[in-house]
Chains A and B, each alone.
Chain A
Amino acid sequence: MSSTISDPASDGVVRAADGTPLKQRLNRALRREKLRSFLLILPLLAFIVLSFIMPIADMLFRSVENQIVEETIPLTVVALKEWDPASGEAPGEEVFAAFHADFVQAFKDKKHTRLGLRLNYDEPGMSGLFRKTGRPSTKMQPPYKEAFIKVDEDWGTVETWAVIKQASPAYTDGYFLNAVDAHRTAKGIEMVPENERIYLFLFGRTMFLSIVITMSCLLLGYPIAFLLASLPLRSSNMLMILVLLPFWTSLLVRTSAWKVLLQQQGVVNDFLVWIGLVNDADRLIMINNQFGTIVAMTHILLPFMILPLFSVMKTISPNYVRAAKSLGANDWTAFWKVYFPQSIPGIGAGAILVFILSIGYYITPELVGGTSGIFISNRIAYHISTSLNWGLAAALGTILLALVMLLFYVYDKIVGIDNVKLG
């Protein structure tokens, strides 16, 4: 037999013409293919790692990272290990001496104010205390305890040192605690006072509003996508341009346009007053509240619902509905039992897209949300750009990410993730 495959009888291994096992040959042949595919996706992979995975990892890391204390005042951190805040007395001279050495060095490196800012997250006033102590620290003479207290008597209190001791570990759960309205006190983890709780509430509201926005996008987008999918190509292309039109104007312009329309002296109210539906004295409040946020965001996110719906519906042959009707189903049954189930992958894709986009939105809520329409993202933005508490922002972001993944998981369990289709 002169075939390329030798007789497998001898040892049960199929061999190629040159005697190497066929599996091995095949693997070698496939390896080149695999290498080629890998090289083809390499640029994208590198891009994703750099622009997506690394920033997220960085964010996750920041939410627990706390090396600044240990790095800035290492001697103090060691010296404070012996001190127990429960003693009710400020630490002794040896801690102050260590702190002085650390502090003078930190002042030279211009790092003392930075540490003050970090500690200020835990205890208001620390920032000022550190800034104030900067220059005088260079002229201090032992005993340092008295010298520090002379600069500010806060240095003599237990609380100041308790804050420093508590902030000493290189990693902290403090940001996460803050992100769920809790903090660590001498008595353990406690919720912050009622009048400071905000994040859990905002998480809840963000979820609620995002779901409402997703639902309203679905309600408005489904019929449009249905219409687009059932029209001949020429007219549907035309209408598709109208759907995409909002993308051509800037987000700010569109949001401002809603203001002009919905404000109390705005177009809609003017019209309602003019036709006599609304009394001039009690014009409707439709902006700077949840309603305004929902309207503006639904408008902005609608295309993200329509596009996946459209592309899925486009693939549903009109024959299915015809078949259903020929089998005796009326219009509604044909739609509900036959068309709708087949459009679910589009609903899934659109809903996930809109939901994820909306929980991360902050510009629109900031502009039209007033006080009742703001999202957790607005607080994240505040901590990123104004308070510079990036640790807290990272913790909030991480929780948001976890929530999205949880919802994804739930969606997968209920609907199935393979039931998501962009076309």
Chain B
Amino acid sequence: MKLRLLLLAAASGFTFAAPVQSDELPACDNCASEMTVVSWGGAYQNSQVKAYSDPYAAMTGVKFIYDESSNEAVAKLRAMNEAGNVTWDLVDVEGPDAVRLCDEGLAMEINADEDLAAAPDGTPASKDFGESLISGCFIPQIVFSTTFGYRTDVAAWNGATPTSVCDVFDLEKFPGKRALEKRPKKNIEWALLCDGVSKAELYNVMETDEGIDRALAKLDTIKDDVIWWSAGADTPQLLADGEIVIGSTYNGRLFSVIEEQKQPVAMLWDYQVFDFDGWIIPAGLPEDRLNRVKHFLKFATDTQRLADQAKYISYGPARASSAPLVGKHEELGIDMAPHMPTDPANMGNILVNNIEWWANYADDVDAKFQAWLAK
């Protein structure tokens, strides 16, 4: 698997390289003086502000307006597009949404080698970003993963700690409430993997009705002990409150529970599910705004910039050449590399979000999943 190679390569070095990008920016002709950037708010948006927009604003004087709408970006962008008044210049979305927006014709297709910065050694962007270019419209930023965190102080576990994702399904050895996302994606995969389906066969099995039934049957075994979350902040909070003993969420959220809030929580990286997050440019921007966005992207997709973002949040940069540059956390001063989903130690078993498959089957599986949930 090519992606796997990329991820491994990305995580292979910890050496601190000197910044290589020049502080000289090319001039921007006929460029808008404002940019509206859509992001997720919170710590993630903050990492973008510090790594990308603040330095860029300092150099160019461009005014950034952040809109915390990434959660509903797809629907809003569609509505804006229908109304013929797109006010956003750059939209931060997860991979599947980027594919979706591209399919809908709501995002602009890019030419990676032309629009994105090349690596310091001259490797073209298309090669350096590689598999993370999951759609013709997608400008990747980070690799994140959905994985499990568990409490380290559960008396009922008698000193055992979960080591496999299948321990989530083991109520005898690991009693207590669990938290899973209120969506079929990932849960179905984990359930089947723990029901004896091999990773190679996984999506073939899921394509059949029996496969989904089988996954739901597996989930049935723990259904009574599951709290279903819909916001990424739920699981960290539930873990901190002791409401649950183990739960899935984004690795960055768990990082802050463990390292920033110092809660008795540890990571279970087994079968973490990789995803990308990045930017898309809305289709049909007027020329001056588009010029500005492109100018900014050339700057922000630079190898060092992507590595800089990891100083503020524990998500891995999406281009291979950035990985060796990942350093220490800006405030905590700890080495960030081991906290990256892409660290080799964390990559024993992994899944990569199968966007293609879910784009095809999400509606059907979701209907079944929701019907199952409601029962």
Q: Are A372 and B374 in contact (CB under 8 A)?
A: yes
B63-107 with Cβ < 8 A to chain A: 71-72, 74-75, 78, 100, 102-105
A299–chain B nearest beta-carbon distance, Å: 20
| Known contacts A372-B374, A374-B374: A120-B228 contact under CB 8 Å | no
Binds A, one of B118-126, B258-266, B363-371: B363-371
Specify which of A111, A367, A387 is in contact with B105 (CB 8 Å cutoff): A111
Residue of B nearest to A379 (CB): B370
Q: Are A288 and B361 in contact (CB under 8 A)?
A: no
Interface status of B28 (Cβ within 8 A of chain A): no
Q: How large is the interface on A (under 10, 10 to 19, 20 to 34, 35 or more residues)?
A: 35 or more
Q: Which residues of A contact B368 (CB under 8 A)?
A: 195-196
B233-285 with Cβ < 8 A to chain A: 238, 241-243
Q: Are B213 and A195 in contact (CB under 8 A)?
A: yes
Q: Are A128 and B356 in contact (CB under 8 A)?
A: yes
Q: Which residues of B contact A264 (CB under 8 A)?
A: 177, 243
Q: Chain B at the A interface: mostly helix, strand, loop or mixed? A: helix
Specify which of A131, A205, A266, A384 is in contact with B75 (CB 8 Å cutoff): A384
Q: Are A124 and B361 in contact (CB under 8 A)?
A: yes
Interface status of A47 (Cβ within 8 A of chain B): no
Q: Are B74 and A198 in contact (CB under 8 A)?
A: no
A135–chain B nearest beta-carbon distance, Å: 10
Interface status of A388 (Cβ within 8 A of chain B): yes
Q: Are B364 and A124 in contact (CB under 8 A)?
A: yes
Q: Which residues of B contact A390 (CB under 8 A)?
A: 78
Interface status of B15 (Cβ within 8 A of chain A): no
Interface status of B110 (Cβ within 8 A of chain A): no
Q: Which residues of A contact B213 (CB under 8 A)?
A: 195
Q: Are A265 and B371 in contact (CB under 8 A)?
A: no
Q: Which residues of B contact A385 (CB under 8 A)?
A: 71-72, 74-75
Specify which of B216, B231, B243, B373 is in contact with A263 (CB 8 Å cutoff): B243
Contact with B along A345-388 (1 / 0, CB 8 A): 00000000000000000000011001110100001001011111
Contact with B along A297-330 (1 / 0, CB 8 A): 0000000000000000000000000000000000
Q: Which residues of A contact B71 (CB under 8 A)?
A: 385
Interface status of A419 (Cβ within 8 A of chain B): no
Q: Are B367 and A127 in contact (CB under 8 A)?
A: no
| Known contacts A195-B368, A264-B243, A374-B374: A110-B360 contact under CB 8 Å | no
Interface status of B359 (Cβ within 8 A of chain A): yes
Q: Are B243 and A387 in contact (CB under 8 A)?
A: no
Bound complex: CA of A116 vs CA of B99, how far in Å? 13
Q: Are B100 and A120 in contact (CB under 8 A)?
A: no
Q: Are B366 and A387 in contact (CB under 8 A)?
A: yes
A59-108 with Cβ < 8 A to chain B: none
Specify which of A124, A265, A384, A388 is in contact with B242 (CB 8 Å cutoff): A265
Interface status of B60 (Cβ within 8 A of chain A): no
B97-151 with Cβ < 8 A to chain A: 100, 102-105, 109
Interface status of B205 (Cβ within 8 A of chain A): no
Interface status of B8 (Cβ within 8 A of chain A): no
A385-404 with Cβ < 8 A to chain B: 385-390
Interface status of A201 (Cβ within 8 A of chain B): yes
Specify which of B228, B363, B371, B374 is in contact with A387 (CB 8 Å cutoff): B363
A372–chain B nearest beta-carbon distance, Å: 7
B247–chain A nearest beta-carbon distance, Å: 13
A122-149 with Cβ < 8 A to chain B: 124-128, 131
Bound complex: CA of A126 vs CA of B109, how far in Å? 22
Q: Which residues of A contact B228 (CB under 8 A)?
A: 288, 370-371
Bound complex: CA of A382 vs CA of B177, how far in Å? 26
Q: Are A388 and B78 in contact (CB under 8 A)?
A: yes
Residue of B nearest to A113 (CB): B103
Q: Which residues of A contact B103 (CB under 8 A)?
A: 113-114, 116-117, 127, 131
A212-234 with Cβ < 8 A to chain B: none
28 contacts between A and B (CB under 8 A): A110-B109, A113-B105, A114-B105, A117-B100, A117-B103, A120-B359, A120-B363, A121-B363, A124-B360, A125-B361, A127-B103, A128-B360, A131-B103, A195-B213, A195-B372, A196-B367, A198-B370, A201-B374, A263-B241, A265-B243, A266-B241, A371-B373, A385-B71, A386-B74, A386-B75, A387-B366, A388-B78, A389-B363
